[in-house]
Chains A and B, each alone.
Chain A
Amino acid sequence: MNAADNSEGAVNEPSTSTSNRSISLYHRLLSWLLIPLLALGTVLLVQAFLSARDAADRAYDRLLEASLVTIAEQVKWQDGQLWLDLPPAALEMLATDAQERVFYSLVDADGEQVTGNTRLPDANTLAAGPHASQEALGRSGELAFRDIAWQGQALRLGSLETRLGGWGDDPRHGQRFSIRVAHTREGREALTRELFSGSLIRIAGMAVLALLVVLIGVRLALSPLIRLRRAIRERDPRSLAPLNLSLPRELEELRNTLNELLARMRRVRVNQERFIGDASHQLRTPLAGLSAHAELALRNEDPAAWHAALKQMQATASHTAHLASQLLSLTRLNNPEVQPERVPLELSALARATVSRHFLRCDRAGVDLGLEIAPEIDNTAWTLGVAWQLEEGLANLIDNACKHGAHIVTLTLARVATTGDDETPESLAGRLILGVEDDGPGIQAERRLLVLRPFHRHAQPDSETAPVTRGGAGLGLAIVDGIARHHDARLTLSDANIHTNANTHSGAHADAEIVVVAGTETGITDTPRRGLRVSLYLEPCPPPASDDLEGDSAC
């Protein structure tokens, strides 16, 4: 029992917490529609009440007016004072069906009460209040209506200011007087309630209708979203096929974005599959070779042949190990989550160290490895980078050059001129250029981007120039590309035009001449040996504080 409860609680809790955190689209739409609707309804109700009261007041004020006029007609001058023969009908008119309490008073020009059942104030003098209404009644006088609180009761007061008729010298002619009548508001309130309840029913009906329409409308409007959700949920989890369902325009954009994402994922997957295919192919070939050599050697009785086979196997194995390590570093470089931090380092020292490490090997292979550092940045070419990656990149480039039949490989370090150079774009001004030039066959301009892909063999179309045995796995440039991306550096592949380069880089004339001569010496004259220059444009950085300097330079 307890366990069941617990599990239930455990199930419920996260769901409630998520619902608390995120507002549903449905609720958001509903509240945006219903809150204004509510406000509008309230405004309508208030307005309906006010207009109902206004209408009731207007209807009943006509009674007050009729009563006032009826009384006014009966006012005359008699026995030396104002005289009123109060018509009972005038008061009965005021009482209405609601049996209101009625009050009247007749006041003369001096404000003295002539007759009446109470002393009422003058609505004209009180007319500044909120519920006053005044009308000019032409010659018959001034008519005013007003709500008053009279000795604990709410009354509607009407007053009529007028004067006696007649003409002549008699002073009583034209005597001013004021008639005031008042009654309780019960009839008005009953009429107001009646009118108001009518509009209340109408407004309530409209509100219910609007509520239903909004509820249904929001549900219908959101149904494509639910369809989309279902379509996504019901897909085969391994499928990357584009979504095909008709949606409203707003959701169509979402679907298209999703489809673009899926297309990208399909391309990525194709690349990965090809990479894996290539890698396994690359690994299988030397392993098959190893197996073939071993088999051949086993059939042979001659120890010398065994020795030769073992030598051959050793070379193949080391080649395979090199391939595996390249694959590993490429995988590491392409993994965005394990990228080592970049620290300030000095490039000229790094270049010298690289050259000295590779010099012997190249020399043995008959390749002339050189180093060219622009004097103005010698020992001051600081940049943010990872030393082993840059060294690896340079090593790959040097390797590539060697493998593709270069005789002269030059490692260069220079800086883009800050001003006046038309060829380099503004964004690269002041950057450090770490480059490797060779006098190999070079790459056609339209294929330069392709060679950055893993396992792309740029040499295939002119394979006769590149001996298969010396061919690399095709990973070197891909690795360099990864390193460049990690260093926010720009990678360019260009022809290693020694002559033009000689103009920009002082002190390289001799090498350039040699390159050209060496190229012709190899005897491949039918193919233009344009050479290749791979350049990394690195962002310079200020040198670190002096105490760090030694540690870095040592590294």
Chain B
Amino acid sequence: MLATRGRRARSRTRRSSLLLPVLLLPSLLLTQVASAADTYPGFDPQSDEHQTLWLRNGQPLKRLDTTADSMRDGTATDANVSHRADLEIHAALDLPEIRPLLVRYSRKHPDLLMHYVNRSALSLEATYLKAPLKTRADLMISSAMGLQYRLANQGHARALDTPNLLAWPDNSRWRNELYAMSFEPIVMVARRDAMQRLADLDGLRNPRDVLRSHRDLWHLLETRRDVLRGRIITYDPRASGSGFTYAVSDARQSPRYWTLVRAMGQADARLVNTTGAMLEALAEGKVDIAYNLVGPYAVTFARTHPELEVIVPEDYVLIQRRLAFVPRQAPHPEAGEAFLDWWLSSEGQQRVANESELGALHPEVRGEGSAHDLRERLGDALRPIDIGPGLLATLDRLKQASFLSRWTLEFQAPPPVIQEK
């Protein structure tokens, strides 16, 4: 299976290398990167589900959504030129998280016609790479740090130089091309009733003590496998880019991750592709515990679902940062840069902290919703995923194949034979 996929990828690369000289712009690297679809068998590039939002002066415009079909391939046709936005953001960031900030920015610039498109991270990259020279995106935001880094490394990102961007902390950006926009812990979510049950079983007074860390999760799975059978849900790293990134990062934290994977496999954990799906399953009562969720999404969802509790692990917390860049061939690069500049300004960051759960990275922003606050509470437990070429290694075709085959092996390992005394 792996071998045939490898051959297919090779032949495609060769074909595209014939086209390369034709497409080459002197300053733009157009190396065909291995398509995300090759790595993630669960990903279907044809099913381009996306949410879209048009804004002018803070007011959503519904009429323009009719053009969504023609944008499917990411290129504009003559027919809808008149509907071209002044600022088009292509993102892998759910609308509820960012909507208040988009509206605020739109109010600030009343004449600006904004268009926000939300896709899955894999679909976002695939759409962009279909026609990088004719992209409509003025800003690309994605939670898949590796994919973003790979695009920037290939030279798809524009070098930006506004003051706020240049002042941005060095460890939260790569060169002056790729900027971290958020500070999102990867969390666990559990149903309160299930936690209460488990606490009762263990005789714990405080139900929170049941699940505070990765170690606790593993311990629960080992000791209460029958209770939790089919009641655990997490990402399928074989089908989800984010899930894969978290899995790789978890594995890097400790080799005991593999025992956790095995334990989840033995407990018949359910596998899905998005945080949203996990939250819905929790809300519907189909599962009790969800592992590795995007923090902001979970917190937002839990606000309206009091039966859920968001658990930030205490032993270590993976931190994902959404990376943004302005494509080199963006139709309105200044608009994209201005938006990013506002987002990273102290004013924008204050809004981010107050009006979203994305986490403000700005070193001067304090209090709830800021990275500073999270650092104070969790200290050394924070494990931000580095923005660096290590991300490229996680995207290596062979490395992914190795990792996923091991993951599958561990997940499908038979439960040990328990000898009853």
**Which residues in A have some Cβ–Cβ distance to B below 8 Å?**
79-81, 83-92, 94-95, 99, 101-104, 112-115, 117-119, 151-153
0/1 interface trace, chain B 140-158, chain A, CB 8 Å (1 if under): 0000000000100111000
Q: Is B274 an interface residue (CB 8 A)?
A: no
Q: Which residues of B contact A104 (CB under 8 A)?
A: 392
- Check if A91 sits within 8 Å of B175, measured CB to CB: no
- CB within 8 Å for A92 and B390 given contacts A79-B3, A81-B3, A118-B31: yes
Q: Which residues of B contact A80 (CB under 8 A)?
A: 3
Neighbour of A86 across the interface among B3, B154, B393, CB < 8 A: B393
- Check if B396 sits within 8 Å of A94, measured CB to CB: no
Q: Give the shortest distance, in Å, between A513 (CB) and chain B (any CB).
A: 121
0/1 interface trace, chain B 1-14, chain A, CB 8 Å (1 if under): 01100100010010
Q: Which residues of A contact B24 (CB under 8 A)?
A: 151-152
Q: Is B272 an interface residue (CB 8 A)?
A: no
- Check if B10 sits within 8 Å of A99, measured CB to CB: no
- Check if A152 sits within 8 Å of B25, measured CB to CB: yes
Q: Is B374 an interface residue (CB 8 A)?
A: no
- Check if B29 sits within 8 Å of A151, measured CB to CB: yes
Q: Give the shortest distance, in Å, between B30 (CB) and chain A (any CB).
A: 7
CB nearest to A82 among chain B residues: B398
- CB within 8 Å for A115 and B392 given contacts A151-B30, A152-B29: no
- CB within 8 Å for A91 and B392 given contacts A84-B399, A102-B153, A113-B13: yes
CB nearest to B397 among chain A residues: A115
- Check if B392 sits within 8 Å of A117, measured CB to CB: yes
Q: Which residues of A contact B95 (CB under 8 A)?
A: none
Q: Give the distance in Å from the alpha carbon of A151 to the alpha carbon of B33 in the complex.
A: 14
Q: Which residues of A contact B175 (CB under 8 A)?
A: 99
- Check if B393 sits within 8 Å of A91, measured CB to CB: yes
- CB within 8 Å for A91 and B10 given contacts A83-B398, A115-B396: no
Q: Give the shortest distance, in Å, between A431 (CB) and chain B (any CB).
A: 92
Most B CB within 10 A of own CB, among A85, A87, A89, A101:
A101
Q: Give the distance in Å from the alpha carbon of A151 to the alpha carbon of B17 in the complex.
A: 12
- Check if A112 sits within 8 Å of B10, measured CB to CB: yes
Q: Which residues of B contact A81 (CB under 8 A)?
A: 3, 6
Q: Give the shortest distance, in Å, between A305 (CB) and chain B (any CB).
A: 130
- Check if A117 sits within 8 Å of B153, measured CB to CB: yes
- Check if B393 sits within 8 Å of A118, measured CB to CB: no
- Check if A84 sits within 8 Å of B396, measured CB to CB: yes
- Check if A85 sits within 8 Å of B17, measured CB to CB: no
Q: Give the shortest distance, in Å, between B322 (CB) and chain A (any CB).
A: 19
- CB within 8 Å for A118 and B154 given contacts A85-B402, A102-B389: yes
- Check if B153 sits within 8 Å of A101, measured CB to CB: yes
Q: Is B174 an interface residue (CB 8 A)?
A: yes
Cβ < 8 Å to A, chain B residues 1-60: 2-3, 6, 10, 13, 17, 24-31, 33
- Check if B389 sits within 8 Å of A95, measured CB to CB: yes
Q: Is B230 an interface residue (CB 8 A)?
A: no
Cβ < 8 Å to A, chain B residues 223-245: none
Neighbour of A95 across the interface among B3, B17, B388, CB < 8 A: B388
Q: Is B394 an interface residue (CB 8 A)?
A: yes
Q: Give the shortest distance, in Å, between B171 (CB) and chain A (any CB).
A: 11
- Check if A91 sits within 8 Å of B33, measured CB to CB: no
Q: Give the distance in Å from the alpha carbon of A85 to the alpha carbon of B33 in the complex.
A: 19
Ordered by A's residue number, 6 sampled pairs between the chains whose C-beta atoms are within 8 Å are: A83-B402, A91-B388, A91-B393, A92-B390, A102-B153, A117-B153
